[in-house]
C-alpha cells in the first residue's frame, strides 16, 4: 500500500481487489488512490487532447471528483465520499489526471452565465431484473431516433447501461435541448427518471433550464476516465478502446448546431404534464364562487372598443407569445346577476388557442385570495 495508511484501504470503493501498487511515475500523486492497471502514463496524454476535452465537455470551471482523495488537503482531512470541489478551478492538470485515470472528474451540464450547454446527455443505468427494461436497448432506441433527426449521438458504455452524449458545436440553451430530449423520450415511451414520480428511467442532463446563482445543477461523470466504483474504463462504443482512437472519433463526430436544435423543437414545449403551471384551486360549490370575483380588467391593457363589448390582449395567448395585436380577448358585461352586481365582466378568448377560463386565470397568476378589497375599487371597475 506504499504510504497510504491501512485504514484507507477499506475506503476504496466497492469492486477493489487486492492491494494497489502505485507506479513510480505517480510518486507526486501517491496520496491519491489510483487503479493502476488502467492508468495511462501522463507522458502519453497529448497536450491537444487536454485542450479538446476542455473545449468539448467543460461548461464551467467548477467540478467534482469521483474518488476519495484529490488533494493533499483532502487526504489530511480524511474526507470520505465523493469530493465536491465547488470553489476549485478545473485546470489542465485535473484533466490530465482524469485522462490518466488518477482521479475521475464529474462535470456540470450548464454554463450558469448563459444557461447553455456544450453537451446534452442521457444516463441509463437501471437493472433489467428490477425494472423489466434494458437500459442499453433503451439508449440505443434513443440514439436511433436521434440519428433519424440528423443528429450524431455518441454512446458511451457504463456499468449497467450507458451514457448517450450529444455534443454541440456551440453552446445550446439548456431549455432547447431539454425540450428536444423530453419529447423524444415521450415519443418512444421510455420512462424519464424523476418525471411523473418515476424512480427509475433515463436521466436527462441538464436537469434544469436555468440555474440560480450559486447553484450547480447536476453533474455527470466525464467521459474517457475510470468508473471508480467498478474500476473500469468505459469507452465510446463506436471507436477502438484506446484513448487515441477515442479522441480521433470524437474529433470527427458531427456536432449539433443551435439552429438544428431550434429547428427540431420549433413550436414545441416541454410535455404538457411536466410544465409547472400555477396552482388554480378548484371551484368550490358554495353559492358564491371565488372566481366570480376575478376581474379580467385588473390584468389586461386598457380596452379598445365600446363599453359594452371591448377587446384587449388575452393574457394566456400573450404568455404563449401570441396575440401580438392585443385583441384576442373579448370582454363584455356579465349576464350573471351576481357578477353584474359587482360590475365584473365576462370574457372569452377568440384567438387560435381558444384559451379557457382557467387558462386565462392561470396566466394572470390570480388566486381566489386576490379579492376586490374595497367598494371604491369595485366602483372604479364598473362599466360606466
Residue 5: partners with Cβ closer than 8 Å, 6 or more residues away: none
Q: How far is the CB of 352 from Zn ion (least distance, A)?
A: 8
Does residue 317 touch Zn ion according to CB under 5 A?
yes
Q: How far is the CB of 316 from Zn ion (least distance, A)?
A: 5
C-alpha cell at 306: 365600446
Q: How far is the CB of 334 from Zn ion (least distance, A)?
A: 19
Q: Tell which one of 12, 355, 361, 364 touches Zn ion (CB under 5 A).
A: 355
d(CA 343, CA 157): 66
- Structural contact between residues 195 and 201, judged by C-beta atoms closer than 8 angstroms: yes
d(CA 299, CA 296): 6
Q: Tell which one of 314, 344, 363, 364 touches Zn ion (CB under 5 A).
A: 314
Does residue 29 touch Zn ion according to CB under 5 A?
no
Q: How far is the CB of 321 from Zn ion (least distance, A)?
A: 12
Secondary structure element (H or E) that encloses residue 170, with its range: strand 162-173
Other residues' Cβ atoms within 10 Å of the Cβ of residue 193: 17
76-105 footprint of Zn ion as x/- string (CB under 5 A): ------------------------------
d(CA 176, CA 173): 5
Identify the CA nearest to 205 among candidates 117, 295, 332.
117
Q: How far is the CB of 173 from Zn ion (least distance, A)?
A: 26
C-alpha cell at 328: 384576442
Give a three-class secondary structure readout of 272-307.
Answer: HHHCCCCCCCCCCCCCCCHHHHCCHHHCCCCCEEEC
Q: Tell which one of 83, 264, 349, 364 touches Zn ion (CB under 5 A).
A: 349
Bridge partners (DSSP) listed for residue 221: 106
Does residue 351 touch Zn ion according to CB under 5 A?
yes
Nearer to Zn ion, 103 or 330 (CB): 330
> For the chain, how big is the Rg over CA atoms in Å?
28
Q: How far is the CB of 328 from Zn ion (least distance, A)?
A: 5
Does residue 312 touch Zn ion according to CB under 5 A?
no
Q: How far is the CB of 249 from Zn ion (least distance, A)?
A: 49
Distance separating the N- and C-terminal Cα atoms of the chain: 89
Q: How far is the CB of 302 from Zn ion (least distance, A)?
A: 18
CA distances, 120 to each of 152, 176, 235, 363 (Å): 12, 10, 17, 31
Does residue 361 touch Zn ion according to CB under 5 A?
no
252-271 footprint of Zn ion as x/- string (CB under 5 A): --------------------
**Stretch in the footprint of Zn ion (CB under 5 A) among 194-202, 246-254, 310-318, 362-370:** 310-318
**Stretch in the footprint of Zn ion (CB under 5 A) among 34-42, 59-67, 348-356, 371-379:** 348-356
Nearer to Zn ion, 7 or 272 (CB): 272
Specify the length of the chain in residues: 384
**Stretch in the footprint of Zn ion (CB under 5 A) among 62-70, 134-142, 289-297, 309-317:** 309-317
Judged by the rule CB under 5 A, the positions of this chain that interact with Zn ion are: 314, 316-317, 328, 349, 351, 353, 355
Amino acid at each position: 500500500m506504499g504510504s497510504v495508511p491501512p485504514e484507507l484501504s477499506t475506503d476504496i470503493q466497492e469492486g477493489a481487489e487486492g492491494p494497489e501498487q502505485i507506479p513510480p511515475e505517480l510518486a507526486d500523486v501517491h496520496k491519491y488512490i489510483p487503479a493502476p492497471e488502467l492508468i495511462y502514463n501522463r507522458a502519453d496524454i497529448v497536450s491537444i487532447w487536454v485542450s479538446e476535452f476542455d473545449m468539448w465537455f467543460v461548461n464551467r470551471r467548477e467540478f467534482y471528483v469521483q474518488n476519495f482523495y484529490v488533494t493533499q488537503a483532502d487526504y489530511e482531512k480524511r474526507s470520505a465520499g465523493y469530493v465536491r470541489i465547488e470553489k476549485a478551478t478545473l485546470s489542465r492538470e485535473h484533466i490530465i489526471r482524469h485522462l490518466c485515470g488518477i482521479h475521475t472528474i464529474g462535470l456540470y451540464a450548464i454554463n450558469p452565465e448563459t444557461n447553455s450547454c456544450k453537451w446534452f446527455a442521457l444516463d441509463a443505468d437501471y437493472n433489467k431484473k428490477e425494472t423489466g427494461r434494458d437500459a442499453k436497448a433503451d439508449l440505443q432506441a434513443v440514439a436511433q431516433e436521434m440519428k433519424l433527426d440528423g443528429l450524431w449521438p455518441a454512446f458511451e458504455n457504463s456499468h449497467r447501461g450507458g451514457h448517450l452524449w450529444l455534443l454541440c458545436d456551440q453552446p445550446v440553451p439548456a431549455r432547447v435541448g431539454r425540450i428536444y430530449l423530453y419529447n423524444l423520450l415521450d415519443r418512444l415511451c421510455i420512462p424519464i427518471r424523476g418525471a411523473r414520480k418515476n424512480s427509475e428511467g433515463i436521466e436527462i442532463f441538464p436537469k434544469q433550464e436555468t440555474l440560480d446563482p450559486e447553484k450547480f445543477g447536476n453533474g455527470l461523470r466525464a467521459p474517457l476516465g475510470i468508473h471508480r466504483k467498478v474500476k473500469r474504463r468505459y469507452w465510446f462504443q463506436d471507436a477502438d478502446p484506446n484513448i487515441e482512437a477515442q479522441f480521433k472519433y470524437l474529433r470527427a463526430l458531427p456536432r449539433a448546431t443551435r439552429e438544428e436544435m431550434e429547428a427540431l423543437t420549433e413550436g414545441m414545449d416541454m410535455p404538457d404534464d411536466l410544465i409547472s403551471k400555477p396552482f388554480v384551486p378548484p371551484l368550490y360549490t358554495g353559492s358564491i364562487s371565488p372566481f366570480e370575483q376575478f376581474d379580467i380588467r385588473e390584468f389586461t391593457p386598457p380596452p379598445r372598443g365600446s363599453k359594452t363589448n371591448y377587446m384587449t390582449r388575452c393574457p394566456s395567448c400573450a404568455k404563449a407569445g401570441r396575440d401580438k395585436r392585443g385583441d384576442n380577448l373579448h370582454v363584455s358585461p356579465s349576464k350573471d346577476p351576481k357578477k353584474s352586481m359587482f360590475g365584473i365582466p365576462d370574457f372569452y378568448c377568440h384567438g387560435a388557442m381558444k384559451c379557457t377560463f382557467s387558462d386565462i386565470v392561470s396566466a394572470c397568476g390570480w388566486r381566489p385570495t386576490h379579492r376586490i378589497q374595497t367598494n371604491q375599487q369595485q366602483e372604479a371597475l364598473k362599466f360606466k
